[in-house]
């Protein structure tokens, strides 16, 4: 029993959740000084509840690791209690003021009150804790396999994909923004610190146009629950935006063309404000695609102005020597620079698992990779790669020069079309991609002869036990697990450990600076290998 109005507790934070809440332990309790004697609860209940709280883990907003604070506890009925911050007793030397002026209102970033280095250490600690506590990997083994996190060279302006929501202000003006913190409301975001500056420019330009007299006709066709999606090719300079306008015909086409003209005219202004460190020269950013949610794409795009190349319905991005087509709804990593480091890590682990470096593959083996028979390198067959949750095929294609075959499985049909096209434009004949759910797919129908490596890149919820059991039945020699949630990664690792597999190396990559989220690549090997 908790009487949060009468009792305050001292807690000490020891970590952060991916959502930026502090994980803290209750140290002791005391009766709030402002409590009147007549309001005191029964001594038996009070002493019992206070004693039972000591050592309990609670969640608290506004607290950083290492800090102690006075709080009041709320019993939400869940396993973890929540704490309401009263005052901070001891501040962390790593605490800083957030650089975003709307940090406390916006739900985009969750960890701007820590220095970047301290946040990296916290992410590293979280992964280590999950390996120890959930996967139950011994401490010595965990410390041996877990590498230091790869920091982002550019921790701001990195998001190449933004999804904005519309808010209607009291004065009738349209504002594009993001979800408010812990709310379904929308908070206006004039300039987002983590969005690519071009994405913000496109959003601000369209917002400005819609709020001017000439934009009223367009604004009347946009519902308040509409979304604006902006994707930026940070290596190619190509820009796509998608605006929901639930009208049809020429009126819609004209409306979208006018917003496109407005955004395109403003691009030269934005180019001058871009930092020089960007990998694309400032004058190369250009709008290439404008589409909407609610019409047949192939029919509607033909009515748009041809200068935007609108019939393409995608942008291109480049990672290493490869170029990738990305459709509006296809998954692609939101941080291009860090995605390249992640893919290179997957490739390194693949080579460490026994795949030959590309210079070691004979020319005759390279030319035969599309054939079903095993090609040989130094007397050993090239491995087949089964790429699950393959998205647009980027990881598999990145590995293709070292593999006999790449077989990708993805539930999003448009992403599979992108993957097949990406294989063609990158001259990768040994890759094939299929539509299907990874946990339901009939792998018996695939040619998986010879050495087998499985790539797993699941969503945040991780892999289902059903999928893991299917993989264990396939008995792959190695698994390359790319995870965006250390807790579900550790859960899946524990099951694989019980079935004869062992992690050999783990590399965290800070894909999402100023949030609590982190990517981790793990090389997992069958014990008898």
Full residue range of the structural domain in which residue 442 is found: 336-526
Q: CATH number of the domain at 461, please.
A: 3.40.50.150
Q: CATH number of the domain at 34, please.
A: 2.40.50.140
Residue 189 resides in a domain: yes
Same domain, 509 and 367: yes
Per-residue pLDDT of the chain (529 residues; tens, 9 = 90+): 455 555 789 999 999 988 889 999 999 866 544 433 333 333 343 444 455 678 889 999 999 999 999 999 886 566 778 999 999 999 999 999 999 999 999 988 999 999 999 999 999 999 999 999 999 999 999 999 999 999 999 999 999 999 998 888 878 788 889 988 888 888 988 889 999 988 888 888 888 878 888 777 777 767 777 788 899 999 988 888 887 655 545 455 555 566 666 666 656 655 565 555 455 655 666 666 665 544 333 333 333 333 344 445 788 999 999 999 888 777 889 999 999 999 999 999 999 887 665 544 444 443 333 333 333 445 578 999 999 999 999 999 999 999 999 999 999 998 999 999 999 999 999 999 999 999 999 998 898 988 999 999 999 999 999 999 999 999 999 999 999 999 999 999 999 999 999 999 999 999 999 999 999 999 999 987 5
Same domain, 438 and 369: yes
Same domain, 406 and 311: no
Q: How far apart are CA 66 and CA 22, in angstroms?
A: 10
Under 8 Å between Cβ of 345 and 149:
no
Same domain, 314 and 345: no
Annotated catalytic residues are: 484, 519
Residue 100 resides in a domain: no
Under 8 Å between Cβ of 146 and 506:
yes
Residue 451 resides in a domain: yes
Report which secondary-structure segment, H or E, holds 397: helix 394-399
Under 8 Å between Cβ of 160 and 334:
yes
Q: Per DSSP, which regions of 335-449 are E strands?
A: 376-377, 380-381, 384-388, 405-410, 431-435
471: CB partners within 8 A, 6+ apart: 454, 479
Same domain, 288 and 398: no
Angle, vertex CA 135, rays to CA 118 and CA 350, nearest 5: 80
pTM over 0.85: no
Residue 113 resides in a domain: no
Under 8 Å between Cβ of 365 and 375:
yes
Residue 371 resides in a domain: yes
Question: Which pair of structure tokens corresponds to residue 111?
Answer: 């960890």
Same domain, 318 and 365: no
Q: How many domains does the chain have?
A: 3
Same domain, 293 and 342: no
Residue 308 DSSP one-character state: G
Same domain, 414 and 366: yes
Residue 125 resides in a domain: no
Residue 108 resides in a domain: no
Percentage helix, strand, coil, to 5, in the chain?
35, 25, 40
Closest CA to 488 of 451, 520, 448: 520
| Rg of the chain in Å (alpha carbons) | 26
Same domain, 284 and 404: no
Q: CATH number of the domain at 265, please.
A: 2.40.50.1070
Three-class secondary structure of residue 348 per DSSP: helix
| Ramachandran bin of 173, using left for φ above 0, alpha for ψ from -120 to 50, beta for the remaining angles | beta
Same domain, 169 and 63: no
Three-class secondary structure of residue 350 per DSSP: helix
Alpha-carbon distances of 221 from 188, 196, 249, 256, 434, rounded to whole Å: 20, 28, 12, 11, 38
Same domain, 369 and 518: yes
Same domain, 418 and 284: no
């Amino acid at each position: 029993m908790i009487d949060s109005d009468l009792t305050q507790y001292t807690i000490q934070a020891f970590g952060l959740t991916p959502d930026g809440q502090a994980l803290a332990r209750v140290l002791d309790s005391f009766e709030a000084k402002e409590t009147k004697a007549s309001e005191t609860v029964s001594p038996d209940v009070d002493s019992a509840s206070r004693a039972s709280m000591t050592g309990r883990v609670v969640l608290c907003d506004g607290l950083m690791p290492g800090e102690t604070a006075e709080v009041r506890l709320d019993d939400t009925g869940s396993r973890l209690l929540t704490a309401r911050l009263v005052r901070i007793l001891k501040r962390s030397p790593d605490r800083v003021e957030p650089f975003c002026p709307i940090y406390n209102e916006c739900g985009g970033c969750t960890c701007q009150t820590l220095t970047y280095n301290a946040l990296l250490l916290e992410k590293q600690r979280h992964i280590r804790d999950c390996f120890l506590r959930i996967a139950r990997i011994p401490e010595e083994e965990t410390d041996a396999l877990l590498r230091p996190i790869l920091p982002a060279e550019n921790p701001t302006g990195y998001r190449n994909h933004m999804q904005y929501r519309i808010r209607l202000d009291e004065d009738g003006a349209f504002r594009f923004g993001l979800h408010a913190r812990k709310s379904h409301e929308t908070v206006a975001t004039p300039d987002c610190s983590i969005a690519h500056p071009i994405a913000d420019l496109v959003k601000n330009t369209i917002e400005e146009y819609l709020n001017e007299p000439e934009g009223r006709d367009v604004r009347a066709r946009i519902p308040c629950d509409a979304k604006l999606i902006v994707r930026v090719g940070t290596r190619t300079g190509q820009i796509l935006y998608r605006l929901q306008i639930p009208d049809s015909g020429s009126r819609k086409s004209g409306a979208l063309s006018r917003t496109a003209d407005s955004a395109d005219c403003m691009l030269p202004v934005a180019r001058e404000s871009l930092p020089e460190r960007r990998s694309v020269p400032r004058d190369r950013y250009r709008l290439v695609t404008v589409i909407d949610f609610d019409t047949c794409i192939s029919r509607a795009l033909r009515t748009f102005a041809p200068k935007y190349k609108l019939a393409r319905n995608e942008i291109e991005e480049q990672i290493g020597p490869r170029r990738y087509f990305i459709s509006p709804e296809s998954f692609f990593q939101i941080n291009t620079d860090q995605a390249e480091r992640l893919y290179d890590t997957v490739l390194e682990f693949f080579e460490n698992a026994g795949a030959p470096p590309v210079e070691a593959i004979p020319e005759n083996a390279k030319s035969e990779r599309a054939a079903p028979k095993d090609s040989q390198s130094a007397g050993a067959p090239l491995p087949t790669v089964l790429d699950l949750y393959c998205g647009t095929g980027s990881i598999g294609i990145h590995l293709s020069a070292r593999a006999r075959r790449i077989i990708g499985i993805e539930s999003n049909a448009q992403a599979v079309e992108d993957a097949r096209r990406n294989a063609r434009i990158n001259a990768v004949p040994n890759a094939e991609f299929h539509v299907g759910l990874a946990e339901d797919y009939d792998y018996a129908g695939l040619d998986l002869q010879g050495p087998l490596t499985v790539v797993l890149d699941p969503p945040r919820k991780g892999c289902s036990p059903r999928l893991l059991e299917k993989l264990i039945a396939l008995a792959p020699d190695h698994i390359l697990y790319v995870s965006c949630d250390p807790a579900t990664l550790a859960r899946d690792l524990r099951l694989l450990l019980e079935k004869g597999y062992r992690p050999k190396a783990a590399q965290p990559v800070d894909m999402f600076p100023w949030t609590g989220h982190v990517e981790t690549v793990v090389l997992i090997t069958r014990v008898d290998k």
